[in-house]
Amino acid sequence: MLSKEEAKKRIEELRKLIRHHDYLYYVLNKPEISDAEYDKLMLELKELEEKYPEFITPDSPTQRVGGFPAEEFKTVTHTKPMLSLDSAFTEEDIRRFDERVKRELGVESVEYVAEPKLDGLSVELVYENGVFVRGSTRGDGVNGEDVTENLKTIRAVPLRLREGRGVPSLLAVRGEVIMHIDDFEELNKQLIERGEEPLANPRNAAAGSLRRLDPRETAERPLDIFFYEILNIEGVEVDTQWDALNLLREWGLKVNRLIEKCSSIDDAIRYHGKMAEKREKLSYEIDGVVIKVDRLEYHEKLGIKARSPRWAIAYKFPPREEETEIVDIVVQVGRTGALTPVALLKPVDVTGVTVSRATLHNQDFIDQMDVRIGDKVKVARAGDVIPEVVKVLKEKRTGKEKKFHIPSRCPVCGSKVVKEGAFYRCTGGLACIAQLKRSIAHYASKGAMDIEGLGRKNVDLLVDSGLVRRLSDLYTLKKEDLLSLPRFAEKSAENLIEGIEKSKNQNLARFIYALGIPNVGEHMARVLAEHFKSLDNLMKASVEDLTSIHEVGPETAESIVSFFREKTNRDEIERMKKLGVRATVERVEKKKGLLDGKVFVFTGALKSFSREEAKSLVEELGGRAASSVSRNVDFVVVGENPGSKYDKAKKLGLKIIDEEEFKKMVGRS
Ligand code: IVH
């Protein structure tokens, strides 16, 4: 047994050790201990901190996943605008850039730093006296979203800087959050297994993962980060970009290993060629190189044009294209019945990602490109869009290629297909299994009724087995029904039933969105819920009633009215209500709340509720959930692994309760 004093010393020692090994691993890529040894240090630290929570500090390596699930991200104004870069595609462009730089500076030669242009999500991190205090996404360049808690979960983000040539009193640094290609593919494999939608590419995966409202979800995603620019610094002198990158490294901030100093633009152009070759072998995606004037004093002189600096340029790689063959063309039926032609391809690797399908958009696209089944084509994977056929290699035709036209009957249900503008649509409605499946998946999705365990695979199973023939059938499902299906065991069946049961209490806005009315997204659903306060009111609304609301246009009004005019839709809603779906407005006319005026703060994980649920419970009962501890707080609810809020609460002498007490208070024990 350690004494309290000894424990404190050991805690500090362990933190130092862990930080040191993080640095060796993440920044230098030269680990000196095994994962198991590392885990042991971490475990020891966790146990000591559990015993002595008073020694927990926010920058302890144990505090990476401690945040709240947020309702939305706070807005952060960047310390300095986060600019973007002008792009160039040819050597000529780059030489012109160099000429202009030299001309404006009035010098004969300029040195550059060349760096890989990482294809991820740009973020700003702020360190005060060496401690990570705030991080945000780029947003519009001036304001971004506060993703501090999410960034903390990335292991390559040091919570505290190493002492290099002194620690700056303030450091705002810019970096790129990325996902490695193999991690991306593994993640997609898991998503597909869980019946969820796979992500389009590593960049979207990185962005989507970082922007989870629940930091615990971000923590489960394999993210990495590289730092490349000092936005603001106080307390340490820096003269060149090269020096800046080296300083960042010394402070334990990971800098890409492939950066190079170039004594002239020729060097930078050679660098671009070298990277274009190397690109295929990298574990992450780059879409070009960035060439930056080395001397920072020159940056000031050159200044900014519109939203990009005159001292840097992105020298992009040509878009990634590969040749493959269209094996077949199939038609995908969307939730609202829209038919999209999709080319099934002989799988091809397009810079690291295997592509086996490409969208053909609509019949007009097929006709204009004259795409046929059996054609050899070029496919491109451009930035954030789904793979696309960019060229048909007509000279390679053998004569066996077959033309394709969207069928006049739905390939899934056989209903008539009608043409609406450039699109064809199946008229089967929810009698069309494809539309039914997609409607149910949408109904159950996160932003809608958020039914856990009801991903695409399970939806397919429920519909294909005949257990669910219409949406409202979800609410008649019993555990025994599920147990007769191949994918379900006792526990998973129970969970799904419970998830469906819980959805009965989702609020009106979510329910409206879940119905999948054309033109009604999450935001519009919230507007409608707020305005009409009940489903009945909304169902009775006329086009005029609707368009009188500021945000509702005539097209949306029309689609809402015609949705509720459909007898099948009205019957479905009626039946769902009978089966217990409440879809009420939150915080209805303030009932005499049990918790009227009381302010709650939550820290640590609760067993019986998600953070969201707990907060909305408090609000339903007239209380308020605050996000930080202050003297105004009445109760601090402490779950498992509480964060620094717990210590602060103790310091302030606030009333601290555990989950059981909380449950009693809200009448859920
Ligand atoms: S420097 C003002 N360096 O490329 C210069 N950007 O528009 C700021 N990017 O949004 C950017 N790798 O997210 C810089 N080594 C690198 C970069 C890089 C990727 C991104 C950045 C920016 C975009 C260009």
Q: Kindly report the CATH number assigned to the domain that includes residue 341.
A: 2.40.50.140
- Nearest residue to 509 (alpha-carbon basis) of 495, 518, 496, 522: 522
Inter-axis angle of helices 35-51 and 4-22, nearest 10: 150
Residues 477 and 328 in one domain: no
**Do 311 and 397 fall within a single domain?**
no
Instruction: Report the SS3 class of residue 127.
Output: strand
pLDDT-above-70 percentage for the chain: 98
For residue 258, the CA-to-ligand 1 centroid distance in Å is 15
As a whole number, mean pLDDT of residues 639-659 equals: 88
Report the CATH number at residue 153: 3.30.470.30
134 within domain boundaries: yes
On whether the CB atoms of residues 19 and 36 are closer than 8 A, the answer is no
Neighbours of 351 (CB within 10 A): 18
* Residue % of the chain over a pLDDT of 90: 68
> Separation of 390 CA from ligand 1 center, angstroms?
27
In this structure, the chain runs to a length of 669
Are 406 and 485 found together in one domain?
no
- Are residues 311 and 186 part of one domain? yes
In terms of domains, do 270 and 246 share one? yes
So which residues are the catalytic ones?
117
CATH number for the domain spanning 632: value is 3.40.50.10190
- Give the tens place of pLDDT for each residue, 468-496: 999 999 999 999 999 999 889 999 999 99
- Same-domain pairing of 256 and 328: no
- Mean pLDDT confidence for 276-303: 94
Element (H, E) at 123: strand 121-128
Flag whether pLDDT at 129 surpasses 90: yes
Q: Report the CATH number at residue 555.
A: 1.10.150.20
- Asked if residue 72 belongs to a domain, the reply is no
158-193 confidence digits (pLDDT tens): 999 998 788 999 999 999 999 999 999 899 888 887
592 in a structural domain: no
**Which of 387, 420, 453 finishes a domain?**
420
Q: Report residue 79 CA to chain centroid gap.
A: 24
Q: Whose CA is nearest to atom 23 of ligand 1?
A: 84
Same domain, 240 and 129: yes
Q: Of the residues 271, 297, 316, which one is the last residue of a structural domain?
A: 316
408 in any annotated domain: yes
Judge whether 356 lies within some domain. yes
**Ligand 1 close to Cβ of residue 225 (< 6 A):** no
Query: Is 661 inside a domain boundary?
Result: yes
Residue 384 has pLDDT above 70, yes or no: no
Q: Which of 21, 237, 235, 9 is nearest to 130 (CA)?
A: 235
Q: From the CA of 229, give the closest atom in ligand 1.
A: 1
Q: What pLDDT, on the 0 to 100 scale, is given for residue 664?
A: 85
CA distances from 116 to 179, 183, 315, 385, 628 (A): 15, 20, 10, 22, 40
Residues 589-614 have pLDDT tens digits of 444 577 887 889 999 888 888 888 88
Query: What average pLDDT does the chain have?
Result: 91
**Same domain for 277 and 209:** yes
Is 92 in contact with 158 (CB distance < 8 Å)?
Answer: no
Query: Considering its fold, how many domains does the chain have in total?
Result: 6
pLDDT category, 127, cuts 50, 70, 90? Answer: very high
Mean pLDDT of 328-341: 92
| Residue 590: predicted pLDDT | 43
Q: Considering only CA atoms, which of 295, 237, 301, 258 is closest in space to residue 105?
A: 301
Average pLDDT of span 75-86? 90
CB 184 within 8 A of CB 119: no
113/253 same-domain check: yes
Domain-located, residue 593:
no
Spatial separation of the C-alpha atoms in residues 372 and 343, rounded to whole Å: 9
What's the whole-number mean pLDDT along residues 489-518?
Answer: 93
Distance, in Å, from the CA atom of 552 to the CA atom of 386, rounded to the nearest integer, reads 30
352 band by pLDDT with thresholds 50, 70 and 90: low
**Residue with CA closest to ligand 1 atom 6:** 117
Domain boundary among 578, 607, 626: 578
C-alpha dihedral sign at 258, 263, 265, 266: negative
Which pLDDT score, from 0 to 100, does residue 197 have? 73
Shared domain check, 234 and 150: yes
Q: What is the span of the domain harbouring residue 137?
A: 87-316
Note whether 177 and 166 are within 8 A (CB): no
pLDDT at 22 over 60: yes
Please tell me whether residues 374 and 513 are part of one structural domain. Answer: no
**Does 588 score more than 60 pLDDT?**
no
Residue 214 has pLDDT above 60, yes or no: yes
Q: The tokens 């600096």 sit on which residue?
A: 309
C-alpha–C-alpha distance, residues 610 and 616, integer Å: 10
- Is the model's pLDDT at 338 over the cut of 70? yes
For atom 16 of ligand 1, which residue has the closest CA? 117
| Pair 253, 152 in one domain | yes
User: Poorest-confidence range of 10-24, 312-326, 409-423, 590-604?
Assistant: 590-604
Residue 69 has pLDDT above 80, yes or no: no
* Range ranked top by mean pLDDT from 533-537, 606-610, 651-655: 533-537
H or E stretch at 136: strand 131-137
For the chain, state the CA radius of gyration. 29
Q: What is the pLDDT at residue 351?
A: 67
CA of 179 to the centre of ligand 1 (A): 16
Instruction: Please give the Cα distance from 134 to 148 (Å, whole number).
Output: 5
Domain presence at residue 35: yes
